[in-house]
Amino acid sequence: MGNTISSRRRVINAVMLSLSGLCTLLVIGVLFFILGYLMFHGLKSLNLAFFTKLPKPAGETGGGMANAIVGSGKIILLATCIGVPIGFLAGVFLAEYSGKTFAFLIRYTVDLLNGVPSIVIGIFAYAMVVKPMKHFSALAGGVALGIMMIPIAVRTTEEFLRAVPNPLREGAMALGATKARTIFTIVIPAAISGLTSGMMLNLARVAGETAPLLFTALGNMFWSRGWSQPTATLPVMIYNYAISPDEDLHQQAWAAGFVLLTLVLVINVTARLVINRGPAAARR
Amino acid sequence: MASSTYIANIPRRSGVRVLYDRLRGGDEIAYLVTLACAVATLLIVALLVGELWINSQPTVKTFGWHFLTSSRWDPNSGNFGALPFIYGTCVTSFLALLIAIPLGVAASVFLAEMAPPKLSNILTFLIELLAAVPSVIYGLLGIFILVPLIRDYLVPVLTKLFGYLPIFSGDFYGVSFLSAGMVLAIMVVPFIVSVSREVLLAVPTDQREAALALGATKWETTWQIVIPNALTGIFGSIFLALARALGETMAVTMVIGNTPKITASLLSPGYSIAAVIANEFAEASGDLYVSSLMFLGLVLFGLTIIINAVARILILTTQKRGA
């Protein structure tokens, strides 16, 4: 009677368990394949001109994407200036002030906004900014990405503020601080590392967005001055170059893809490491 | 409020004065400012829906419901029908799920049930990084790696084995429903894995121990006890992935072929809602054209909102039960 588990069941067990392991390996393999391939092709096509020169007119080889790098930076900066303050303060409201019903409504709306496909946000920014101004602009692109940043900013702020222990608030109040003073001098500083990491993740997410920029910032082969001109961005350049038939442009697209992915992954890894080590993670 | 204790000592202050003092205290200002930002998020969503609705009115008035069922998309003659795009979006998303569900659920089972916690955390971290890769990069890899691979290795096998089926008939040019579905599958797997793993981990350990004590193997425990327990949540993760797949724009646009046709064959080029907006919006001329694209945006918005809501409800139910 020692052999209670039949060999058939044992085989099924072993086979299924290894299959699931194999699937995991396959998924992870895709990541390393993407990284490896981009690294290989991107580094091969990357040179100093990529960072310092303007794109060359069609037919000529060489050139770079300096204007797109600056353009991406400008638009992300603007998006951060729009999305982070609104999202952060709304998150503070949810965590510290709001009652139940209203908070539920806000949270629900924020989730809804988070689920809206980025291309639809692009249409919205087009209708709000491009149509009244009558031309594509960096401003419109920044507004589109800024709106995309709000939901995650709200949720990370709420989550990290809630993770701050209540005795901290009570201590501050007992010393006579007003509620606002408690929040802004005690609670937020206590959560600051998580908050900044969350915002960095948020930034990394919109840095790679392409769809909402297609018909807001559009693109530009030259430098764009100010905020009201069409502006080139890295993701849109990658898209335009990848679908063009020109082999030289494909190389540039790989280089741009490499730069973009490196930026996004570096931010992601650092921010996640900070969050995982922070006090909020320890309390979970 | 702290200030109310003082009001008793200093009588007969005007309402304006009281308000001014309270504002100067900072408390009310902080409250009002944060409240304003919270309300602003409500307004943005309301405005978004409103703008889409108002701007799509010309199309609604001209075509009515016929817009959704007509398969003719001809901007030159002013005929707009959304069916080819709705079809393409559904086919590619369905195909993506068909590939991603087994892969994602199996991986999440491994991560939640078998891998040692440390290894599981590291692997999950890596898989979640996959979700952070911008979609335009998936598109780039799709065009230059996946499409050639599919053309050289997968399609010859498929046509040889299943060529008699209408879904694998016809010529293959590379860009197709099949390519789009496979790129989407790779993109949504991380969502299925990370959410499914969470809900599997939320299944109480006693359940597993009880099954194992009764003599079940590890696999039997997982398949018959743990997965049924977490099934609602796993469905939630699938719906979440579906919402992602429906709204995904760049990667699909780059590999689907951008041809507004309805064909049974997965090997032929097609179009999706998001792709047509991405491709044609900037150059669309004429009110009806723009408004038709806006209406497509509204349809996409509606679809993803519904699917997202279902996903959230399913995931919440499981997590509550587990806790």
Could you report the per-residue pLDDT of A125-172, keeping only the tens digit for each? Answer: 999 999 999 889 999 999 999 999 999 999 999 999 999 999 999 999
Could you report the per-residue pLDDT of A12-63, keeping only the tens digit for each? Answer: 999 999 999 999 999 999 889 988 999 898 998 888 988 998 888 777 777 8
Contact B219 A17 (CB under 8 A): yes
Q: Which amino acid is located at B229 in the chain?
A: N
Q: Which of B33, B55, B77 is the last residue of a domain?
A: B55
> Using CB atoms, which residue from A28, A116, A184 is nearest to B126?
A28
pLDDT band for position B9 (cuts 50, 70, 90): low
Contact A31 B129 (CB under 8 A): yes
B201 and B298 belong to one structural domain: yes
DSSP codes of every residue in B181-240: HHHHHHHHHHHHHHHHHHHHHTS-HHHHHHHHHTT--HHHIIIIIIHHHHHHHHHHHHHH
| Rg, chain A, Cα only | 24
B28 and B106 belong to one structural domain: no
B226 and B263 belong to one structural domain: yes
B150 and B73 belong to one structural domain: yes
Q: Rounded to an integer, what is the distance from CA A31 to the centroid of its chain? A: 18
Contact B308 A124 (CB under 8 A): no
B30 part of a folded domain: yes
Residue A97 and residue A84 in contact, taking contact as beta carbons nearer than 8 Å: no
For helices A100-115 and B287-322, angle between their N-to-C axes, nearest 10 degrees: 120
Residue A236 has pLDDT above 90, yes or no: yes
d(CA A38, CA B185): 20
CATH code of the domain occupying A49-283: 1.10.3720.10
B73 and B149 belong to one structural domain: yes
d(CA A281, CA A148): 26
Q: Does the CB of B109 have a partner CB in chain A at under 8 Å?
A: yes
Residue B241 and residue B191 in contact, taking contact as beta carbons nearer than 8 Å: yes
What is the 8-class DSSP label of residue A2? Answer: -
pLDDT band for position A284 (cuts 50, 70, 90): very low
Residue B155 and residue B106 in contact, taking contact as beta carbons nearer than 8 Å: no
DSSP codes of every residue in A116-152: S-HHHHHHHHIIIIIHHHTS--HHHHHHHHHHHHHHH
Residue A172 and residue A186 in contact, taking contact as beta carbons nearer than 8 Å: yes
Could you report the per-residue pLDDT of B177-200, keeping only the tens digit for each? Answer: 999 999 999 999 999 999 999 999
Contact A94 B38 (CB under 8 A): yes
Write the ipTM.
Answer: 0.91
Kindly report the number of other CB atoms within 10 A of residue A265's CB atom.
16
Average pLDDT on A73-95 reads 96
B24 and B96 belong to one structural domain: no
pLDDT band for position B171 (cuts 50, 70, 90): confident
pLDDT band for position B24 (cuts 50, 70, 90): low
Closest Cα in chain A to B274: A119
B109 part of a folded domain: yes
B157 and B305 belong to one structural domain: yes
B44 and B73 belong to one structural domain: no
d(CA B210, CA B214): 6
Domain count, chain B: 2
For residue B217, the chain A residues in CB contact (below 8 A) are: 5, 9-10, 12-13
B162 and B310 belong to one structural domain: yes
Domain residues of chain A, as ranges? Answer: 7-45, 49-283
B9 and B121 belong to one structural domain: no
Q: Does the CB of A281 have a partner CB in chain B at under 8 Å?
A: no
B253 and B121 belong to one structural domain: yes
- Here the tokens at position B219 are 């696999």
d(CA B277, CA B297): 7
d(CA A138, CA B322): 47
Residue that wins the pLDDT comparison between B23 and A247: A247
Partners of residue B227 on adjacent β-strands? none
Q: What is the CATH number of the domain that holds B179?
A: 1.10.3720.10
> Using CB atoms, which residue from A106, A214, A272 is nearest to B41?
A106
Residue A283 has pLDDT above 50, yes or no: no
B249 and B156 belong to one structural domain: yes
Closest Cα in chain A to B283: A215
B60 part of a folded domain: no
Quote the domain boundaries for residue B25. 4-55
Q: Rounded to an integer, what is the distance from CA B10 to the centroid of its chain? A: 59
Q: Does the CB of A162 have a partner CB in chain B at under 8 Å?
A: no
Q: What is the pTM of this model?
A: 0.91
Quote the percentage of chain B above a pLDDT of 90. Answer: 73
Closest Cα in chain B to A205: B132
